[in-house]
Amino acid sequence: MSAPTQEMLPPPEHGDVNTLARQLRAQFAGRITGELHIPAQPGRYRALPAEIEPRLRQALARKGITRLYSHQAEAWSCARRGEHLVMVTPTASGKTLCYNLPVLDAVLQQRSKALYLFPTKALSQDQVAEISDLNRLGELGVRAYTFDGDTPGDARKAVRTRGDIVVSNPDMLHQGILPHHTKWAQLFENLRFIVIDELHSYRGVFGSHMANLLRRLRRICRFYGVAPQFILCSATIANPGELASQLIGDKVTTIAESGAPQGEKRLLLWNPPVVNADLGIRASARSQTLAVARQALRRGLKCIIFAHSRLMVEVLTKYLKDKFDREPGKPARVTAYRGGYLPTERRATEQRLRQGAIDCVISTSALELGVDIGALDLCLLNGYPGTIAGTWQRLGRAGRRSRPTLGVLVASSQPLDQYIVRNPDFFLGASPEQARIAPDQLLILLDHIRCAAFELPFRLGERFGGEPLEEFLAYLAEEGVVHREGESWHWMADSYPANAVSLRSVAEGNFVVIDTTAGGQKIIAEVDYTGAPMTLYQGAIYMIQSTPYQVERLDWEGRKAFVTRTRADYYTDAIDYTRLKILEEFETAGKHAAAAALGEVHLVRRVAGYKKIRYYTHENVGFGKINLPDQEMHTSAVWWRVDAGFLAQSFPGRQQALDGFLGAAYAMHHVAALQTMAEPGDLGRAVGDGGSGWFATVGVNGRGVMHNSAGEPLAPDAQQRFNPTLFLYDDYPGGVGLSQPLFDGRRRLLAAAAGLIAGCDCRHGCPACIGPILASEEQRGHSAKAAALKILEMLNVD
Amino acid sequence: MSIKRRLSHLRQTPQCTPGAAAGLAARIGRLRAARRSDESHGSGDPSALRRALQGVEIADGVLLVEQRIASGTRHGREKLGQFARCAESFPEAAGLEPEDLLFLDTETTGLCGGSGTLAFMVGLARIEQGGLILRQYLLTRYAGEQALLNAVAAWVRAGDLLVTYNGKTFDLPLLAARSRIAGLADPLASLPHLDLLYPVRRAFAGKWQDCRLASVERQLLGFQRRDDLPGAAAPAAWFDWIRRGDGSCLTQVCRHNRWDLLSLAVLLPLLAEVYRNPCLHGADPLAVAKAHRSAGREDTALVLLLQQKPALDQAGLTALAGLLQRRGGRQAARSIWLALSARGDQTARERLAIHFEHDLQDYRSALSYAEAISDSDEKQRRCARLRRKLEKLNRQSDLDYR
């Protein structure tokens, strides 16, 4: 919560980010592909509402808050009117006060209680610290506690019975609170507010689970005779109101205009220079990030660097420390911050950041949210964070106190990164990112109806979700877990259903990795079900902290992989095939020559083998076969098909057309993930004939290869029929609602994919546009890039 | 398409390869564990069940099975009775008449807890004329739960002491949750409670592999259950009745619950005896003494340890010496420490060093014991301090001499 009266700090005496920006522009004009400038904005203020509880008003005054930003005042009156509301505000705009104000007021005036839900534990801690601060200043006597996996057993009772504000997370609500709601009766009976922060993170599978979890929560609230009000906060996305209303199943008022003052902001989009034009290889993002960071540090600017992986955080930290922290005895200027460090260590780093004692912090997304780290001048993103919302959140970490700030987004060679740095407009105007959830996804809904039946018996006429509840209950009765008696359905099994449902993934049970080196049996890692077939097959090299282990045996049923330490000079990369068979078309568009459709497919995924790839040279040093069960599911998909005759007219041969399809699929997959804010695992792509007859993959020589259902290669020209179909599908049984918006927005999708390929600097295709191309144009005999563009043009059926 | 068909569609494996079983089929399998699809559905005949259990239907969906068990009835090696002397050993029972004891044990639909688990049988027992009157309330329909809880409440008297085995973490929270869901006040919330698991654990944790009621019966009561339905099978027995009207196993559940209650009733006086005379029953005298001490009965603890002195190990003797010292028996304490120290006991040496330094101002002896303690910073400090004191003393005596 930032204090409106304190925002005008004197400008920093040392270097200035605008000078740095000028210099970078002069020196590296070719690498800066775009620049956004957001001028400073004055704050808009409102007087503190007169009806605020006097002690709370005093606490605010002691914190230096004597007026509110306009959006805070709006949130206050909206909350007073009893409406559910969602706030869409930038970082450091005093968001927490928007909910703390009505909540604390209700706690003080009506002895009401509140439940706060944050997606992660770290954020919960900060919230409690924040409330404690106001509590102390105003001697409010409000009891705010966190409740999560770290809460000690003997403290739990106090949290349940005495907490005015309980700060927890969805997983705890799901497995710890709702199934034991009677123990929480005191909280529920007085529950007036439910605060949900980081709304935008509840999307896809996780979001669909969340919507059902909230249905359960509201059901329990009804039992205790309360109808709490929801206050939600989101980063900027295209549809915050829609998402919020889908999640809580009710009308929501959106407050999108921030009244907080904003310092001048500048964002440079930075593309590393091409070092091999043939293969489209660019200098690493790391080298560029380090170069900019060094310049900033020399100028005495304070900066934060975000990297995707913990490993990259360590690497960047080492390189910068080697340069700037060489004198022993002097306090470190450079520090790393990431998950996996001890909480005390992290708290100490946060404190030193707030004091301005650190010049450069390198972090994973751990610092992206909430945690107050004081004023920084420069924010460097080593790679695109994956969503625009995430990008703005990270950039918001610089310049919390209205100083001019500079952000530099350094693109990696990933297609998304390359697309983003070439489309600066993406960052301005209305966000194109639609957060999608499917609250009535059948399997997810079924999981939560099961959990809800355990929590309270269902009564005839009750509703849960958008599907007919009685049919679900009949289904569960047939499975023998609920029992109908008169007008009620009762739980009837000796089990605790919430333990079998994971909110974050398909709950098939994680695999444990067991190190058997030197005869021992030590669990060293856990891999989720979906990741296991691609990483834990027999013969795989599995890396932990860059130490290689070899998988000796995979016990699929027992969910165990036995590994030993190895000194292999190669790593392994699994080859998987996905075959799709169209089951039903729901909607179609287009003509005979080319058509797009939305429908249901049957998917079979086989992990067939793996490549051994030597470090540094990246040469292929061998193959291995993998013998794993196929994975099958029904899911929803969107697909495009081109008539064989039409293809024959447009391409010299089937091989070229196939290459074009594979390239187009690669580009579309990445753009689609961006437009639907899909988690990488939630969306898949495939090229095949749509009837499980054949499917295509990119072979080792960089060319498309057709396979039959057994995985054996086929010659494209030897086939009777050649009717390639390009699929994008929901990678979750039953689908999670991604295909429908892709079908509806297909023109935008095709245009963006074409833009990605056409705008790429490579000559024939590269990992940044149509996927890795190993062979040169001469060997391939044609340009795969041109072929992909041609296919995209043909797919535009509208 | 119906929900059922759509779900089956999603969950089935269209081309049944063995591997796919690990996917969706496994999830179905999770549910199937409880499924008996080949068996007929249908409700059972409550009157047949009533006859089989020799119970009375006291409300729609609730059977009451009542039995009297006469004083002196054998249960294993023990006989029912002798409730009079319990109060001395358990502060919870202080001032209570045997008639104020209310034994409780429930059978539930699950062992994992949570609001979806209910107690389908609540067994209660109280003492009347030295014998036991035993009431088991059995739910025959979900709808009877409210009536069942009300019936339990009606048999509870203000001033009762609840006696359970592991009721603190299991039976009582469960009944509290069910009362809450049924919209009733928890009938047991206000009663004092003696959970025998804790005194058993204190006395025998170091001696037995575990402290389950079955171990108590085997080790203490000499009671062997024959053809017992294990507690874990109780949920299925009740589900069989609800689902298919098959109440055949409920008779066994009743008996199982009755045995639990009987064991509780026999255990209470026996455990009181254990706390008076731990060695007779293979309990750990030190643990028992500690329990007395922490309950504020230092005299009892001291007497007990003195009685058991020949049988005490080093830790027991150390505790005895500590108690003696606190109660002014310094000499007796010292003789124990001296004996222990002679056997190389570190704590005793430390105690002696303190005793000689502070109680007797005999720094030379204190130093000799302090030096015999194994090396640590504290030892060094103590020795240094004692040497300083000795030196000062020597200087003074020199001065006196001059």
In what side-by-side order are the strands of the sheet with A144-146?
A: A144-146, A165-168, A113-117, A191-196, A229-234, A85-88, A253-255
The string of pLDDT tens digits covering residues A543-563 is 765 567 899 999 888 888 999
Distance between CA atoms of residues A293 and A360, nearest Å: 8
Q: Residues near B211 by Cβ (< 8 Å), separated by ≥ 6?
A: B197, B200, B201, B204, B205
Mean pLDDT value across residues A641-663: 89
pLDDT band at A179; cut points 50, 70, 90: very high
A452-471 per-residue burial string, b: 16 or more CB within 10 A, e: under 16:
bbbbbbbeeebebbebebbe
CATH topology of domain B46-276: Nucleotidyltransferase; domain 5 (3.30.420)
Q: Residues near A537 by Cβ (< 8 Å), separated by ≥ 6?
A: A551, A554, A574, A607, A610, A626, A628
Structural Rg of chain B based on CA atoms: 31
Q: How far is A167 from chain B (nearest CA, A)?
A: 21
- What residues form DSSP beta bridges with B162? B102, B193
Say if residue A147's pLDDT is above 90: yes
For testing contact with chain B, the best of A463, A632, A731, A732 (most B CBs within 10 A): A632
For residues B195 and B164, the answer to whether their CB atoms sit within 8 Å is yes
Question: Which residues on chain B are in Cβ contact (under 8 Å) with A453?
Answer: 116
Q: Which one-letter DSSP state was computed for residue A506?
A: -
Type of residue found at A436: R
Interface of B with A in 130-149 (CB under 8 A): 141-143
- Check for a shared fold between A14-40+262-411 and A45-255: yes
Distance between CA atoms of residues B264 and B244, nearest Å: 33
Chain B contact present for A58, CB below 8 A: no
Chain A residue closest in CA terms to B140 = A485
Average pLDDT, chain A: 85
Residue where the block lists tokens 């409690």: A128
Say if residue A6's pLDDT is above 70: no
pLDDT at A544: 65
Question: Percentage of chain A with pLDDT > 70?
Answer: 91
pLDDT at B275: 86
Identity of the highest mean pLDDT range in A118-122, A245-249, A745-749, B317-321: A245-249
Largest CA distance in chain A: 84
pLDDT at B32: 36
The per-residue DSSP string of B189-215 comes to: TTS-EEETHHHHHHHHTTTSS---HHH
pLDDT at A13: 42
Q: Residues near B220 by Cβ (< 8 Å), separated by ≥ 6?
A: B267, B270, B271, B274, B281
Neighbours of B223 (CB within 10 A): 19
The distance from CA A795 to its chain's CA centroid, rounded to whole angstroms, is 29
The parts of chain B modelled with pLDDT lower than 70 are 1, 9-43, 399-402
For residues A113 and A221, the answer to whether their CB atoms sit within 8 Å is no
Angle between helix A442-455 and helix B3-11 axes, rounded to 10 deg? 110
The string of pLDDT tens digits covering residues A724-750 is 999 999 988 778 888 988 999 999 999
pLDDT at A114: 97
pLDDT at A763: 75
A605-630 per-residue burial string, b: 16 or more CB within 10 A, e: under 16:
bbbbbbbbbeeeeeeeeeeeebebbb
Assessment of whether the complete model's pTM goes beyond 0.90: no
Interface of B with A in 176-195 (CB under 8 A): 176-177, 180-181
For residues A400 and A92, the answer to whether their CB atoms sit within 8 Å is yes
The string of pLDDT tens digits covering residues B110-163 is 988 899 999 999 999 999 888 899 999 999 999 999 999 999 999 999 989 999
CATH topology of domain A45-255: Rossmann fold (3.40.50)
The string of pLDDT tens digits covering residues A95-111 is 889 999 999 999 999 99
CA nearest to A38, candidates A304, A263, A303: A263
Long-range contacts of B225-230 (CB under 8 A, 24+ apart): B225/B256, B225/B259, B227/B252, B228/B252, B228/B255, B228/B256, B228/B259, B229/B253, B229/B255, B229/B256
Strands, E assignment, A447-569: 458-459, 482-485, 488-491, 511-515, 522-527, 541-544, 547-555, 560-565
Q: Do B17 and A179 touch (CB under 8 A)?
A: no
Type of residue found at B131: G
* Joined tokens for residue A52: 């605020």
Phi (first) and psi of residue A490, to 5 degrees: -110, 150
Assign A613 to helix, strand or coil. strand
The string of pLDDT tens digits covering residues A486-531 is 999 999 998 899 988 878 755 456 788 889 988 888 887 777 777 7
For residues A123 and A370, the answer to whether their CB atoms sit within 8 Å is yes
Chain A contact present for B3, CB below 8 A: yes
End-to-end CA distance of chain B: 115
Question: Which residues on chain B are in Cβ contact (under 8 Å) with A468?
Answer: 3
pLDDT at B16: 34
Mean pLDDT value across residues A274-302: 84
- What residues form DSSP beta bridges with A194? A115, A230
Distance between CA atoms of residues B384 and B367, nearest Å: 9
Minimum mean pLDDT range among A154-163, A353-362, B237-246: A353-362
Write the Ramachandran bin of B114: left for phi over 0, alpha for psi from -120 to 50, otherwise beta: left
Chain B contact present for A156, CB below 8 A: no
Question: Which residues on chain A are in Cβ contact (under 8 Å) with B181?
Answer: 182, 456
Q: Residues near A233 by Cβ (< 8 Å), separated by ≥ 6?
A: A86, A87, A88, A89, A95, A98, A99, A195, A196, A197, A198, A199
Assign A509 to helix, strand or coil. coil
CA nearest to A746, candidates A671, A666, A659: A671
Q: Do A493 and B22 touch (CB under 8 A)?
A: no
pLDDT at A291: 93
Q: How far is B164 from chain A (nearest CA, A)?
A: 21
Which CATH number is A14-40+262-411 given?
Answer: 3.40.50.300
Q: Do B114 and A180 touch (CB under 8 A)?
A: yes
Say if residue A83's pLDDT is above 50: yes
Say if residue A700's pLDDT is above 70: no
Minimum-distance CB partner of A734 among B10, B21, B31: B10
For residues A304 and A289, the answer to whether their CB atoms sit within 8 Å is no
